[in-house]
Structure 1
Amino acid sequence: MSTASTTEVEPVPTRGLPVPALAGMVVGSMVGAGVFSLPSTFAAATGAVGAAIAWTIAGLGMLTLVFVFQRLAVRKPELDAGIYAYAKAGFGDYVGFFSAFGYWASACAGNVTYWVLIGSTLGGLFPAFGAGNTVVAVAVATGGLWLFHFVITRGVRQAAILNSIVTVAKLLPLLLFVVVVAIAGFNWQTFTANLWGGATPDAGALFGQIQSTMLVTVFVFLGVEGATVYSRYARCRRDVGRATLLGFLSVLALFVLVSILSFGVLPRGELAGLRQPSVAGVLEAIVGPWGYWFISIGLIVSVLGAYLAWSLMAAEVLYTAAKSEDAPRFLTRTTRRGVPIAAMLLTTTLVQALLIVTIFSNDAFDFMLKLCSSLALIPYLLTAGYALKLETRAGDDPAGRSRRGFAVAALATIYALFLVIAGGPTYLLVSFIIYAPGTVLYVIARRERGLRVFTRWELVICIAAIALAAAAVVALATGAIVI
């Protein structure tokens, strides 16, 4: 890139982003492709009762993680870049890198869902785009991908300001959707007919239905830690916690309204069969064709804004890992504006590779959604585990421990473990196809600095990751796992 320097340059952090701007990064990260798919995704899995229970579990569980991020931001102000820094501080260099790489890869997979959903939206007008994973759709997405790469390299602060503007623009169609459905489209008889995922209430079936929504809720909540990743740009550390909580509660309310109110518009079978973005289909059923296109335009603005925020966060994590000497030195290279250009280039390259993979997927959006969520589960679990460690005798700051902090950290850890179990083994196994090769970067970094590559337990973790990746490859080759 013409703006990249040829030597390593230390970026100058731009402190001073206010709480609304940081909260905007959280909202911008979370309100992306997922919210526009909620009506059909939830209807395919469960009814209104199951959806309400799922959101209650996800909301309370994620709230504990929000409090964990909030407490860690204040208690450990020296740890920037959030998830990566916490895993490293709690469990060592390799596990920290593992968390950083998984979080980065999750962001890349999430970015692919944005391009797929844009393609699927355009497919409603141009059949060549299909469901967003045709050759034409991938070719157009590739052009947009590299265009955004250029925009992002213009500067972190400029991109953050642009994200704030985009966040406002993309929320308007969703808020209008909620108002129109609540006032003009909601039918109580339709809603009561959609209460259960089956013909009759069944507690056993309900549990399975709720379990099947967990990866979806993880996907839509990804980005709740957005403000912690940019903690070095905040005016003060307490602003990070305030911004995270404000952004989370706002987005949770929006997600619940969009998914629950939709059950009062169409029968569950019709909701489940809607083309993505299903929010557009629901609004079209109320106001006609203009509703579909109004939401579609909002979706394109939304996912492009989310793509911007996630690309920034992904590059920031890789850059910080390199500055902490856990990733190769070339990833510390920046532009004159302080943008981690090498990390951005690697991010864009992985998104490009995953875009090509979608051509061979039966349901590209669903596959990338679940892969994104599975990749993020380990970093979230490690962050909660670190918080729990700090609140026990294993912590390094006895004066800072509290019963409330311990309870929150314990609940967050239990919730993260629940997500790993509820998500199932399939996509977690596939995620190691990405996790395992990332170790090469860690090995290069350790050798560059003349350090011992692995401790005994780190070597065990590495071997296990490689074995799981190999098992996933075999499962894909034999058809045991289908993407």
Structure 2
Amino acid sequence: MAVAKLSLPTLTTMVVGSMVGAGVFSLPSRFAAHTGVAGALIAWAVAGTGMLMLAFVFQTLAVRRPDLDAGVYAYAKAGFGEYLGFFSAFGYWASACVGNVTYWVLIMSTAGAVVPALGDGDTVLAVALSSVGLWLFFLLIRRGVKEAAAVNRIVTVAKVVPIIVFVLLALFYLDPQVFADNFAGADYAGSLFHQVKGTMLITVFVFLGVEGASVYSRHARRREDVGRATVLGFLSVFAIFASVTIVSYGLLPMGEIDRLRQPSMAGVLEYAVGTWGKVFVSVGLIVSVLGAYLAWTLMAAEVLFVAAKDDDMPRFLKRSTAADVPVPALVMSTLLSQVFLIVTLFSDDAFDFALDLTSALTLIPFLLAAAFAVRVALAGRRDRARAAAASGPGARGGAGPPT
């Protein structure tokens, strides 16, 4: 069975497609609930630097350990054994499935502005419609990985355009006085340290997906493309996320942004240009979220599949079709998302619940991957030291010191 090979542009859109999803459309109100412009700038600098280092980790490991597939899981196992490898795979897979739930909740919440019965995406009707969407995407992906990746490439381009338009319009309508009033943060935000701390889980969530190319490394046409796609995708998305957050502070006071219905980006643009702005962002959100859902479903199934091939998951999960689709792993991923969709019926705030749970589940696999990179670097340094010692003047066969 031939494995579908993906080019550098396609791998890069896997990274961008998995990172640009529901989170970016919720950034204005999520940030405004905690911090002003100064805190936001610091938060993005901290999170951006940390995630850039993580992107470099995945870039380095893709080159130094090309024998390892499915990134996050494989690195944890290679570095710390089967036990932590299993929990890394399980945690990453669970976080991907829970993250997929945020996409459907946000779609239904967006539509809820027109159809009240959908509420904030957590009503019985919303869950029923989301469930239909879950299984329709299952059927799409079952047709083939290469076809699904091609669809993701097209959707990624389509969903970035409305976000860029939002940033440009917000800059055009930006009120310097409102921006200045929001700079230090509102009274409810607390100290600057408190403000920055409050945004950390938010920034972790929106950067999830930076490992997208690494997870799909076995499909790469050239192994070095995995690292390049990771860094290119991260830098593109970081610029988008930071821009969306900062320009929003120039249109409305923090308190008003905080009270906006999700997706808050739609409410911000509606204030600037009218109803059509809200509709424009809402359509962009639906395209964006569906594309991100596709990318994350592919990655969730891939992690289970590779772990099963390494005998760290039940054997039935390593079966795949002639089109290179791991159907049992895809079924399990869809089922877990279905379970969490039902759980949202009993949550006070379904979107924030799923978002925070996703962030928490992903932190440990990321930490293990970074720790493995440290071990690889130290081992490489020791090997170079031994090689230098072996080839030095006093080494066997060398000239030795003059007598």
Choose which of 389, 394, 398 in structure 1 pairs with 2:383.
Answer: 398
The separation in 2 between residues aligned to 1:157 and 1:26, in whole angstroms, is 16
Partner of 1:275, secondary structure, is coil
Does structure 1 retain, via aligned residues, the 8 Å contact 2:18–2:209? Answer: yes
Match of 2:206? 220
Distance 1:295 1:327 in 2: 41
Which one-letter code corresponds to 1:14 in the other structure? A
Match of 1:312, SS state, is helix
Letter in 1 for 2:169: V
2:393 — aligned with what?
none
1:200 CA drift (Å): 10
Deviation at 1:392, TM superposition (A): 2.2
> Counterpart of 1:447?
none
Structure 2 spans left out of the alignment, 5+ residues? 387-403
Match for residue 167 of structure 1?
156
Q: Which residue of 2 aligns with 1:89?
A: 78
User: 2:35, 2:189 within 8 Å by CA — same for their partners in 1?
Assistant: no
Q: Tell which has more relative contact order, 1 or 2 (C-alpha 8 A, sep 6+).
A: 2
Match of 1:310 in 2: 296
1:258, 1:312 → 2: CA distance? 27
**Contact 2:142–2:327 (CA under 8 A) maintained in structure 1:** yes
State yes or no: 1:388 paired with 2:374: yes
Work out whether 1:13 is the aligned partner of 2:11: no
Equivalence map 1:206-245=2 (5 Å)? 206-245=192-231
| Contact 2:159 2:288 (C-alpha < 8 Å) held by counterparts | yes
From 15, 18, 30, the equivalent of 1:29 is 18
1:47–1:194 contact (8 Å) kept in structure 2: yes
> Which SS does the other structure have where 2:3 is aligned?
coil
Residues 1:367 and 2:353 aligned together: yes
Give the one of 147, 150, 166 matched to 1:177. 166
Structural mapping, 1:338-377, within 5 Å: 338-377=324-363
1:299 aligns with 2:285: yes
Picking from 71, 75, 91, the partner of 2:60 is: 71
What is the match of residue 3 of structure 1? none
Within 5 A, what are the aligned runs for 1:455-470? none
How many angstroms apart in 1 are the aligned matches of 2:256 and 2:192?
20
CA pair 112-36 structure 1, distance change in 2 beyond 3 A: same
Task: Report the CA distance shift for 1:292/1:369 in structure 2 as closer, same or farther (over 3 A).
Answer: same
Pick from 177, 185, 195: which aligns with 1:197?
185
- Displacement of 1:391: 2.0
How many angstroms does 1:254 deviate by?
0.2
User: How big is the shift at 1:399?
Assistant: 3.6
Identify the residue that residue 142 of structure 1 maps to in structure 2.
Answer: 131
Could you tell me which residue of structure 2 aligns to residue 120 of structure 1?
A: 109
- Structure 1 gaps of 5+ residues are 1-10, 402-483
1:236 Cα deviation (Å)? 1.4
Aligned-partner SS, 1:310: helix
State the alpha-carbon separation in 1 of the partners of residues 152 and 264 from structure 2. Answer: 24
2: distance between equivalents of 1:396 and 1:257?
Answer: 39
Contact 1:390 1:397 in 2 (8 A): no
**CA contact under 8 A between 1:37 and 1:279: conserved in structure 2?**
yes
Please report how far the alpha carbon of residue 396 of structure 1 lies from its aligned counterpart in structure 2 after TM superposition.
9.7
Amino acid aligned to 2:181: A
* Separation of aligned partners in 1, 2:66 and 2:323: 25
TM-score where L is the length of structure 2: 0.94
- 2:253 maps to what in 1? 267
Distance 1:70 1:397, change over 3 A: farther
Aligned pair count? 386
Q: C-alpha deviations, 1:14-71, integer Å up to 9, x for none? A: 22x2211110000000000000000000000110110110000000000100111000
Please report how far the alpha carbon of residue 197 of structure 1 lies from its aligned counterpart in structure 2 after TM superposition: 2.3
For the pair 1:156 / 2:140, whether they are aligned, the reply is no
Moved over 2 A (4+): 197-202, 395-401
Structure 2: distance between partners of 1:176 and 1:194: 23
Report the CA distance shift for 1:104/1:201 in structure 2 as closer, same or farther (over 3 A): closer
Q: Secondary structure at the match of 2:311?
A: coil
Aligned identity (percent) is: 62
Inter-partner Cα distance in structure 2 for 1:323 and 1:24: 26
Tell whether the 8 Å contact from 1:104 to 1:317 is kept in structure 2 after alignment.
yes
Q: Distance in 1 between matches of 2:136 and 2:215?
A: 24
Cα distance between partner residues in 1 of 2:140 and 2:219: 20
CA deviation after TM superposition for structure 1 residue 179, in Å? 0.8
Indicate conservation of the 8 Å contact 2:189/2:195, yes or no. Answer: no
TM-score (norm 1): 0.78
